[in-house]
Chains A and B, each alone.
Chain A
Amino acid sequence: MTREPIKILLVDDEEDFVEMLSLRLKAVGEEVTPAHSGKECLQVLEQRDVDVVILDVKMPGMDGIETLQEIKRRFPLVEVILMTGHGTVESAIEGKALGAFDYLLKPADFNELMEKLEAARKKKAEQPSRLRQKN
């Protein structure tokens, strides 16, 4: 497979979930960095090049929506897929309005997740280059 791996940052306070989804994504050839809080997520983004963030909505401390806002403010090129155990219309609409690429309900279908990851990466690659200078 000559395909470029998608650089994924997986953020969820549920450690087992982060571990197992990371293993699965790595097993299909993606590059995954784990994080367990919004704060950690932002720290990773400062240090690494990331294509897509998979972001849990409900986390203690800085929640997914707050984290999303910070990501979009400081790293506008990075795409975000929100993921949660329950979907609320408000957070879905809010998330979209705040620039999230899409929204998934746990347990997510792996193929669906892969499609969204691929689409999100494609979108990121198509961003006008002038945006790359921003931040």
Chain B
Amino acid sequence: MKEALRLLIVDDEEQFRQVLVKRLSRRGMVPEQAGSGEDCLDLLEKKPMDVVILDVKMPGMDGLEVLQRIKEKYDKTEVILLTGYANTQDGVEGIKSGAFDYLSKPVELDHLAGKIKQAHEKILHEAEREREAEFREKMEQRMVAAERLASLGTLAAGVAHEINNPLAIINDSVGWMQLLINQGDAAEIPIKGQLEKGLDKIVQSVERAKKITHQLLGFARRSDPIISEVDLKQLAEDTVQLVEKEAKHKEIEFMLESDPSLGKIWSDAYQLRQVLLNLITNAIHATGSRGRIEITLQKDGEMVVLAVKDTGQGIPQENMERVFEPFFSTKPTGEGTGLGLFVTRGIVEKLGGVIEAESRMGEGTTFRVRLPRAHKGDERSEQEDHTNWVEKPTATTGKMPSAGKGPS
């Protein structure tokens, strides 16, 4: 895969240039020409070059000066100097200034063609190395992010657990006090109303903290999906129904469009509902009164594409990269946990899919989830982490082995 070589010959002798151009063209290298250092720099301004063959002895700006200017501005361009006969001084000087090499006139064409090739190879090699370094850096960044998430998960689960216990104590203490101030003599005390107000605030705050810890445990959940046939269209309709009340309030119109050939997919219905619910709820929050939310389901080869599009404000560019981060929320404090999209992405990836967001300010946002239509990640290795969390165990009751029938 060789890219075309961009070659420039700079020499004040036109005849010399013509000869070189003709001969090099015959070898498949078609050079451009410049008659002076100044012309050379002008040309480079408009058209980048890979290799410049540069005569040292020129009226006006001489080759060595041109070389320096080239190296200052175009560090990827390689320069081959042509020096006067037996003038090694200029050549050595040029190499010090960054020339690839020098040849003394009269030039032997094979020699020159060889040098051009070497210079070109060096450029290609450098570009390759740069791409590799870039790729490696990207991978490293991704690894770091993955590791950070994994350890964040462990930490989050640990913290959530440690906090749930004191929360439970607060919760039952306050519940008990609420019962007490309504019993016997206590019901008569004049500041009862104020006490109740304070107790209510505690209950609400426990509820708020509980929402966070339980969501964190949900995020740390490493449980295997329970795979079954899922009617995604039905699931989307059901989910819309769940949130319709909230949407009606804002007179939001729902549109559900489904590819008739989609059929059923193999996935985890319970977790997909969570994904749909998160995306649709977000869309409702983003959309103003009388907006529209479009849900589309499309088949794309082995994948299904689920898109939720709103007509909200849109997400500013600087927030786009952060929407999937944990605890990133633009909602007022206490209203959003900042975990919704984070958990959503976790689920989608666990189901073998990807999620992306696209937004235009003033027009709205689309979240697009691509999922495999047939789930292939069923087999799990035995070495896998066995710390599995459930957010709300009662919800999975129906799937558990029937037990508790007593010994037979």
Contact = CB atoms under 8 A, between A and B. Distances in A.
B407 A87 contact: no
A110 B396 CA distance: 20
B389 A88 contact: yes
Given A23-B176, A27-B176, A127-B406, A88 B388 contact: yes
B401 interface: yes
Majority DSSP secondary structure for residues of A touching B = mixed
B162 interface: yes
A86 B157 contact: yes
Interface string B308-342: 00000000000000000000000000000000000
Contacts of B169: 14, 16-17, 20
Contacts of B388: 88-90
B223 to A, nearest CB: 5
Majority DSSP secondary structure for residues of B touching A = helix
A3 interface: no
B310 to A, nearest CB: 32
Interface string A10-34: 0000101100110110011000000
Contacts of B406: 76-77, 99, 127, 131
A85 B400 contact: no
B407 A134 contact: yes
Nearest to B209: A107
Interface in B226-246: none
A26 B392 CA distance: 26
B387 A88 contact: yes
A55 to B, nearest CB: 14
A105 B392 contact: yes
A20 B386 CA distance: 33
Interface string B206-231: 10001000100100010100000000
Contacts of B393: 87, 89, 92, 103-105
Given A20-B173, A92-B393, A92-B396, A99 B404 contact: yes
A1 interface: no
Contact of A28 (B168, B179, B407): B179
Contact of B172 (A24, A97, A134): A24
Contact of B210 (A77, A89, A101, A107): A107
Contacts of B173: 20, 24
Contacts of B175: 24, 110
A66 B262 CA distance: 48
Contact of B404 (A24, A89, A100): A100
Given A87-B217, A89-B223, A110-B175, A96 B167 contact: no
B217 to A, nearest CB: 6
A97 B168 CA distance: 26
Most chain A beta-carbon contacts within 10 A, residue among B160, B165, B394: B165
Contacts of A21: 168, 172
Q: Give the bracket for the number of chain A residues in contact with chain B.
A: 35 or more
A106 B165 CA distance: 7
A45 interface: no
Interface in A48-87: 72, 76-77, 79, 85-87
A110 B178 CA distance: 12
Contacts, number: 118
A112 to B, nearest CB: 8
B390 A92 contact: yes
B216 to A, nearest CB: 10
A17 B172 contact: yes
A44 B401 CA distance: 29
Interface string B148-180: 000000000100111011011111110110011
B397 interface: yes
B179 A27 contact: yes
B62 interface: no
A24 B160 contact: no
B215 to A, nearest CB: 12
Given A102-B397, A107-B164, A97 B171 contact: no
Most chain A beta-carbon contacts within 10 A, residue among B157, B210, B390, B407: B390
Nearest to A99: B404
A85 B403 contact: no
Given A20-B176, A28-B179, A134-B407, A88 B168 contact: no
4 smallest A-B Cβ distances: which pairs?
A85-B164, A107-B168, A24-B176, A106-B168
21 contacts: A20-B169, A24-B172, A24-B176, A27-B179, A27-B180, A79-B404, A86-B217, A88-B390, A89-B393, A92-B400, A96-B397, A96-B401, A96-B404, A105-B390, A105-B391, A105-B393, A106-B168, A107-B172, A107-B206, A107-B210, A110-B171
